[in-house]
Chain A
Amino acid sequence: KNEVEQSPQNLTAQEGEFITINCSYSVGISALHWLQQHPGGGIVSLFMLSSGKKKHGRLIATINIQEKHSSLHITASHPRDSAVYICAVRPRNRDDKIIFGKGTRLHILP
């Protein structure tokens, strides 16, 4: 079983829809990252969370440490949001080696 599980693996939605991507993990963590990777490979760090909720523009990230779960929400989705979204966790007790989820491929149709 992967230590970081993302769902769904693939998601296609219409422009304007509210998007939710989920991440569950099985280890105790010190921080969780949400990353965005566009075609061509470049990765952008969207959020780093250790508790609660963060908002940046149309993006919202939440984390529940007790349930070992995080969600990334996109409001009023747009075709330019089409990308792979990757959840990554930094375990608390493993010398700081970051563990990545497999990613969620999001495609927003105009």
Chain B
Amino acid sequence: KAGVTQTPRYLIKTRGQQVTLSCSPISGHRSVSWYQQTPGQGLQFLFEYFSETQRNKGNFPGRFSGRQFSNSRSEMNVSTLELGDSALYLCASRGGWGSPNYEQYFGPGTRLTVT
């Protein structure tokens, strides 16, 4: 079974631009979560989607948004990029919503650098 894939793996953008990151979950997984990792804040939850619906959202400004498609693939978008958005963005998928016992599988991440 193929793992979680994320594209692109590396990205350099300038302040003010917008960016879209993509995540393909493990086949059969319907839940996709997004996380931001920075040296200062560590890993932080961005949002989780299940069956094309956003189920949870972390404490991030509205510049961060996401969506999920009918095939469970997910995208996240960051508009009006700031230097502080430079981070590793990780996507994780799991099988079911509502049960704590479904293990999460992480993708390799997209490293975004904002200059």
User: Are the chains A and B members of one assembly?
Assistant: yes
Task: List A residues at the B interface (Cβ < 8 Å).
Answer: 30-31, 33, 35, 41-45, 48, 50, 86, 88, 90, 92, 95-103
Q: Which of B84-103 contact A (CB under 8 A)?
A: 88, 90, 92, 98, 100-101, 103
Which 8 pairs of residues, A with B, have the shortest CB-CB distance?
Answer: A30-B100, A100-B43, A43-B106, A31-B100, A41-B109, A42-B108, A48-B103, A102-B42
Contact A50 B42 (CB under 8 A): no
Shortest CB distance B48–A (Å): 7
Interface residues on B, range: 20 to 34
Q: Which of B62-115 contact A (CB under 8 A)?
A: 88, 90, 92, 98, 100-101, 103-106, 108-109, 111
Chain B hits for A86, CB < 8 A = 42-43
Contact B100 A45 (CB under 8 A): no
How far, in whole Å, are A97 and B108 apart by their CA atoms in the complex? 21
Chain B hits for A90, CB < 8 A = 100
